[in-house]
A and B are shown apart, each in its own frame.
Chain A
């Protein structure tokens, strides 16, 4: 199985901050990396697919980059609605695997 490791596990930030979350795969996954946002009691929501493509309807302050084994999710200017947990997920090979999540909290 491909292991996905996110860092940090939690992060405190303020509205307006620029935030970066990192995801590392245990082997190369090309660009088969997706990012999701999950709020308490809700289903995950797809933000970024194929490492850097913005899902329709997602604000452009979200961006993704990377290929191979190292990826980042960046939020350029945090908004109040962005405080949530973020997960990376690889779709290069089965079984599909997720990072452990990054909890983004208000400072």
Chain B
């Protein structure tokens, strides 16, 4: 049973870079059984896919965020990470990491609230 946990700063200043890490337990991020992804949910709103990375490092990003997003793997720590640059208040959201198995988001982290404010 996979478990995922997000970590990172809860407050980021406008124009800076948001950085989050997802630590995976109960399975290897190098396993070809899963893809890994980030999603977000602004307060009181719906879910938005940010991007994904395969076990081999292929990345896929939301077109609306593509110019600002980087997702990467750290196989030595069994983690994957999100970087979102040039943040504004519109990037304030709960950020979730998740794992896909059969084209569905089978496992989710608890989520972490990131607020963009000076």
Q: Is the CB of B48 within 8 A of A43?
A: no
Which B residues are CB-close (under 8 A) to A1? 63
Q: CB within 8 A of B62: which of A45, A49, A50, A95?
A: A95
B10-18, B23-31, B106-114 - the one binding chain A: B106-114
A67 close to B (CB within 8 Å): no
Which B residues have a C-beta under 8 Å from some C-beta of A?
37, 46-49, 52, 60, 62-63, 96, 100, 102-106, 108-111
Does A50 lie within 8 Å of B103, measured CB to CB? yes
Alpha-carbon separation in the docked complex, A98 to B111 (Å): 18
Q: Which of B47, B96, B100 lies in contact with A98, CB distance below 8 A?
A: B47
Task: Determine the distance from Cα of A101 to Cα of B46 in the docked complex, in whole angstroms.
Answer: 7
A-side interface residues, number (CB < 8 Å): 23
The answer to whether A43 touches B110 (Cβ under 8 A) is yes
Residues of chain A lying within 8 A (CB to CB) of residue B100: 91
- A56-89 residues with Cβ-Cβ distance < 8 A to B are 87, 89
Which residue from B48, B60, B103 sits with its C-beta under 8 Å from A32?
A: B103
Is there an interface contact between A91 and B46, defined as CB atoms closer than 8 Å?
A: no
Alpha-carbon separation in the docked complex, A5 to B27 (Å): 35
Q: Chain A residues near B60: list those with CB within 8 A.
A: 94-95
Please list the 10 inter-chain residue pairs (A to B) with the smallest Cβ-Cβ separation, ordered nearest first.
Answer: A43-B108, A49-B104, A91-B103, A96-B49, A34-B104, A98-B47, A101-B46, A95-B62, A100-B46, A43-B111
| A4 to chain B: closest residue by CB | B46
User: In the complex, are the beta carbons of B102 and A36 less than 8 A apart?
Assistant: no
Is A46 interfacial (CB 8 A cutoff)? yes
The answer on a CB contact under 8 Å between A91 and B104 is yes
Query: Of A34, A36, A95, which contacts B63 at CB under 8 A?
Result: A95
Q: Tell me which residues across on chain B come within 8 A of A32, comparing CB atoms.
A: 103
Report B108 CB to chain A, min CB distance, Å: 4
Q: Are B105 and A34 in contact (CB under 8 A)?
A: yes
B104 / chain A contacts, CB cutoff of 8 Å? 34, 46, 49-50, 55, 89, 91
Given contacts A43-B96, A43-B110, A43-B111, contact A98 B46 (CB under 8 A): yes
Task: List, in ascending order, chain A residues with CB within 8 A of B49's CB.
Answer: 95-98
